[in-house]
Structure 1
């Protein structure tokens, strides 16, 4: 069994203080994809750089206290790739890929456009830039899982107040159509939705810090594992963990009936 977890930390140092490491090491995960480190390498403690039981890799943003992604791997990868080839986005630390034989696991942090029109335009540029790369990956013949904060709720059942958010970043028609194109034409599968096609309230992975959103479960499903069809078909369970909070996002854990040791040998 292959277990992959994805979680936006909203600051690795903050999540660490809230008990991230003890929880993570108890999950028996093969990979943990983390996003929004809000830290640079110099800010990481030795424990963060070498969490118990994992080889840890980070792609930090050049800007302090901003963005950044990480991958914790149970086995040492054959190679790690942290560049997309974009001068604009590589400095923001939004992509990290680890290869193991025919398996690739990616931690991805798509920009949010909620803070300004300029950031929404940057988000659209990122989406346009990464789409052909994702299509190429899907057709490469490799087994690929992309765990990340996509900052898009794809369908109406993916957020509580969909009617009031139709003109807001994260639920714009262009964003939703982009996800649909990835799934319908780009060769990717939304693993959680394949397993839970009608799930609503228990599917949310992010809650605003405003208006008692967490207490009222007024959430959004922003954190996905997209996978290529062969490995997606092997997914057996998917769960959003809400018993303990490490950030404003919740971890998404998916188990695949997939022989990681054979694939990586």
Structure 2
């Protein structure tokens, strides 16, 4: 099962830059996209599918903002739009497809975590999102196996961004945000027990791990980047991850697609 995640920074913009021309050759079984920045009127009949991949979407109420999508080759047994939090469901941040069979409960999820970089108000919203998302994922983990792909808007460790010393007080690398990921990936009591799949496969990678670059200056040209895009998986599914790759040969947005191959079928 090949699962790609990509923050498109606008589905229409990414399309003009060749994203949907590139996608068919990837032979993906699933694709999670974030920051769709569109409504159904823009997506239906144009971007709602790609080859055999059929998309479902969670749009933000605010036009031109946020939004996520999840394309899959296989037809799901159920599609869930939002995660039951009115504040963030209004922002179009979560879509889950379930692929349940006798003896198996499996979900694939595309999620877009808020950014706090625009100011204190949005940073507080980001913390509220983290506070709501953790128990949601723990409840889900108690019931089923899942892989969540996301633009998390947090770099976890010093190896996950170029200028970590200069960003210790900036949104995306704040101690509270990084502690949330520590808890999510921790294995002790009251810990999340989920797996950062890319880091499981590439524990020591630094400069090659980045998936986002600021549009300021020459960040992309100089590879002054951050690792903000993740696959979170339950341990059973994470153990089936075989390969992870970040695609940088073409630039579809300010993020690069992250692909992980898993040794199972939907």
**What is the TM-score normalised by the length of structure 1?**
0.96
Root mean square deviation of aligned Cα = 0.8
- 1:143 deviates by 2.0
1:120-167, CA deviations, whole angstroms, 9 ceiling, x for partnerless residues?
Answer: 000000000111011112222x22000010000000000000000000
Q: Would you say how many aligned residue pairs link Structure 1 and Structure 2?
A: 258
Q: Distance in 2 between matches of 1:211 and 1:50?
A: 35
Deviations 1:242-263 (A, max 9, x none): 0011100000000011132xxx
The Cα shift of 1:86 comes to 1.3
Q: Note the C-alpha offset of 1:83.
A: 2.0
Alignment partners' CA distance in 1, 2:234 and 2:125: 26
Cα distance in 2 for partners of 1:148, 1:197 equals 19
1:199 maps onto 2:205 in alignment = yes
Match of 2:181 among 176, 179, 182: 179
Q: Which residue of 1 aligns with 2:37?
A: 38
TM-superposed CA distance for 1:59, in Å, is: 0.6
Deviation of residue 25 (structure 1)?
Answer: 1.4
CA-to-aligned-CA distance 1:199-252 (integer Å, 9 cap, x gap): 011100000000100000000000000000001001000011000111000000
Equivalent position SS for 1:14? helix
Alignment partners' CA distance in 1, 2:132 and 2:108: 19
Deviations 1:33-76 (A, max 9, x none): 00000111112251202322111101110001000000010011
**Per-residue deviation at 1:22?**
1.6
Q: 2:133 matched to which residue of 1? A: 130
Whole-angstrom CA distance in 2 between matches of 1:225 and 1:186? 14
Is the contact made by 1:138 and 1:187 (CA closer than 8 Å) also made in structure 2? no
Per-residue deviation, 1:188 = 0.4
Gaps of 5+ in 1: 261-265
Q: Distance in 1 between matches of 2:219 and 2:44?
A: 32
Q: Which 4+ stretches in 1 moved above 3 angstroms? A: none
Match of 2:116 among 78, 91, 113: 113
Pick which of 223-232 and 128-137 moved more. 128-137
Residues 1:245 and 2:251 aligned together: yes
SS at match of 2:47: helix
SS of residue paired to 1:213: coil
